[in-house]
A and B are shown apart, each in its own frame.
Chain A
Amino acid sequence: AAGVIQSPRHLIKEKRETATLKCYPIPRHDTVYWYQQGPGQDPQFLISFYEKMQSDKGSIPDRFSAQQFSDYHSELNMSSLELGDSALYFCASSYPILRGLGETQYFGPGTRLLVL
């Protein structure tokens, strides 16, 4: 079965640079979520989109922005990178079978970002 696709899988950047992470949801899933998992930490919710509109916002820094496109893929744009941004960034997608009751989310393999 098709899964969530994320690219790139690994990324190395310098401080103050920018990075763009991409996420392609499972076909027919129209909701995308972004999570950040620091070393030894649990995943923290950043932001989500439903039908190309931002649906929820978590602990996403102002330096980050994201959007969902007409084909439902999403991009997370990160600017002025800091050492503390080094983490695994997961994208998850879901199909809203029952909106508002916590749709099951399926995670992509993640992008490992290292900021030097």
Chain B
Amino acid sequence: RKEVEQDPGPFNVPEGATVAFNCTYSNSASQSFFWYRQDCRKEPKLLMSVYSSGNEDGRFTAQLNRASQYISLLIRDSKLSDSATYLCVVGGYGGSQGNLIFGKGTKLSVKP
């Protein structure tokens, strides 16, 4: 079982739609959580860190549920430029607190 699991999609949505991505992680000792976006053949770019209290950045809202080991990302009012692969990322645990563990990503395609 992969340590970070995501629905690979693709999610095909019209402009203006609201879309939600979910992610689960297997190790309860994980300490940090992020959403990155990756465009084709480019580097992962940090979208936002995720905190237990939830956090919002413009059209993007992230939530963390430690009890369920579940992370979510909500995108409101989708734009064409939101089309990308969204990577759920968990910071290591125990002696490996620096390295990141990536999910396989959820592909989003926003259509006009």
Contact = CB atoms under 8 A, between A and B. Distances in A.
Interface size class of A (residues with CB under 8 A): 20 to 34
Contacts of B96: 56, 58
B44 A107 contact: yes
Given A45-B100, A58-B99, A102 B105 contact: no
Interface string B69-92: 000000000000000000100011
Interface of B is mostly: loop
Interface of A is mostly: strand
B104 A103 contact: no
Interface of A: 31, 33, 35, 41-45, 48, 50, 55-56, 58, 88, 90, 92, 94, 100-110, 112
17 contacts: A33-B99, A42-B105, A43-B44, A50-B98, A56-B96, A58-B96, A58-B99, A90-B44, A100-B31, A101-B91, A101-B97, A102-B32, A102-B91, A103-B98, A104-B34, A107-B43, A107-B45
